[in-house]
Amino acid sequence: MTTSRLRRIGRARHWAAIGTATVFAASLAACGSNAGAKGDDAPGTSDSSTDTSALASEVAALDKPLDSYSMPSEPIKNVSSLAGKTIYYIPITLQAPQFAATQKELTAAAEAAGLKVQVCDGKGTPTDINACVAQATSAKAAAIVTDAIPYGLAASSLGAAQKANIPVVINSQIIDNSHPASKTLAYVGENAGSDQQVALAKWTILDSEGKADLLINQNTDGPSQPAFVAAGKKVFASDCPGCKVTINGVSSANFSLVPSSTSAALLKDPNITYVQSQFEQFLQPTQAGIQSASKTGLKVITGAAELSSLKALQSGQIQAAAGQDGSYQAWADVDAVLRMMLGSTAPDYKIPVRLFTKDSVAGLTLTEAALASGEWFGPTSFTDDFKKLWGVA
């Protein structure tokens, strides 16, 4: 989930997904992902009822921007002593435009603190990712920030970097219990994927009055994606006994099969009323599958919302979306590495997540500049707040 987005992101993500097929397949083996999610149902009973009144206020709150962001409480001393040092940024692949956008915002934050950023493209393969980490270690980088790369995929090289006293930040992945956070390792954005699924689950329960029959096109490319969806399924299990959730596993390696698998799942259960694409990456082929199945009247929702999906929401093509503030996350990355470079432990960062509906999206400026500023999620003053913490304002 990032900062300023490029146009036609759906098409670009498609090519990025194809380019990352090798690395995702490897990550499944390395990290023990539960790829067999297709057809995994959360039981629901048609004669059960759900009191959705308590959800109304929660959903209303999720549909609003934050009044303020959660910021670290402790300022960082002696940031000036790090001037001129280099942070390595290693995205899983620069074919995906969101990582180029993150690079830009990460660079802006690093420059504000007097540091430089060196980018090494993971190119979607374990070999290149590990080579990038090794390159950073050999170059005596001040810190390493990875993006969308499970720790287990590069465990040996990341371990070697930490042994060389190079702090490492893992972006947008669940915490690897075998490699917990430490003075040389931090996880940033691990909450965002789960928080989006929880928000979408609550909206679906409320909108359906506790009677949703939901199909989720869940990404199976790594260990984090099923864990995120599991957080939403817990909400259905506890709050909606009358709801049914069916999981259809989709992957980047089989991107071209998303329409047919979606269509097959819809034909198998003609009572499905809601369809969710876990990530915007799969939204267009999910919609193609709905069309292929000749299904009408379905409500479509998505996670990892960016500019294109919010425009689709505004036009009525989809009914709800959830996304995270990638701009804030990039600045939190730099805050984390600054603290670790100076011998402290990085704090927990709560990445802002927002639910978007047709009502709330109507008041947004749907431009790349607006997305880059973070204004969709709350105040845009967090960049100045971080600078104050670093003593460079």
Convert 25-44 to b/e letters by CB count within 10 Å (16 or more is b): bbbbebbebebebbebebeb
d(CA 47, CA 178): 43
CA angle 304, 276, 6 (to 5 degrees): 30
d(CA 17, CA 28): 15
Whether residue 348 is contained in a domain is answered as no
How confident is the model over 162-181, as a mean pLDDT?
96
SS3 364: coil
Structure tokens at 171: 């972006």
pLDDT at residue 5 in the model = 36
Mean pLDDT of all residues belonging to the chain? 88
pLDDT beyond 60 at 29: no
pLDDT beyond 70 at 37: no
Whether residue 55 is contained in a domain is answered as yes
Q: How confident is the model at residue 225 (pLDDT cuts 50, 70, 90)?
A: very high
Whether residue 336 is contained in a domain is answered as no
Whether residue 264 is contained in a domain is answered as yes
The CATH number for 287's domain is 3.40.50.2300
Q: Is this model's pTM higher than 0.95 or not?
A: no
pLDDT at residue 48 in the model = 52
Helices marked H in the chain: 9-19, 21-31, 53-62, 97-112, 126-138, 155-163, 192-208, 224-239, 258-268, 283-292, 307-314, 326-341, 358-361, 368-373, 382-390
Whether residue 334 is contained in a domain is answered as no
Whether residue 274 is contained in a domain is answered as yes
| 281 against 29, higher pLDDT | 281
Q: Quick one: CA torsion of 250, 254, 256, 257, rounded to 10 degrees?
A: -60
Total domain count, the chain = 1
Q: How confident is the model at residue 368 (pLDDT cuts 50, 70, 90)?
A: confident
Whether residue 260 is contained in a domain is answered as yes
Q: What is the pLDDT of residues 78-134, one digit of tens each?
A: 999 999 999 999 998 887 667 777 888 899 999 999 999 999 999 888 999 999 999
Q: Which domain holds residue 262?
A: 34-65+193-324
Whether residue 131 is contained in a domain is answered as no
Q: How confident is the model at residue 180 (pLDDT cuts 50, 70, 90)?
A: very high
pLDDT at residue 41 in the model = 53
How confident is the model over 168-196, as a mean pLDDT?
96
pLDDT beyond 60 at 44: no
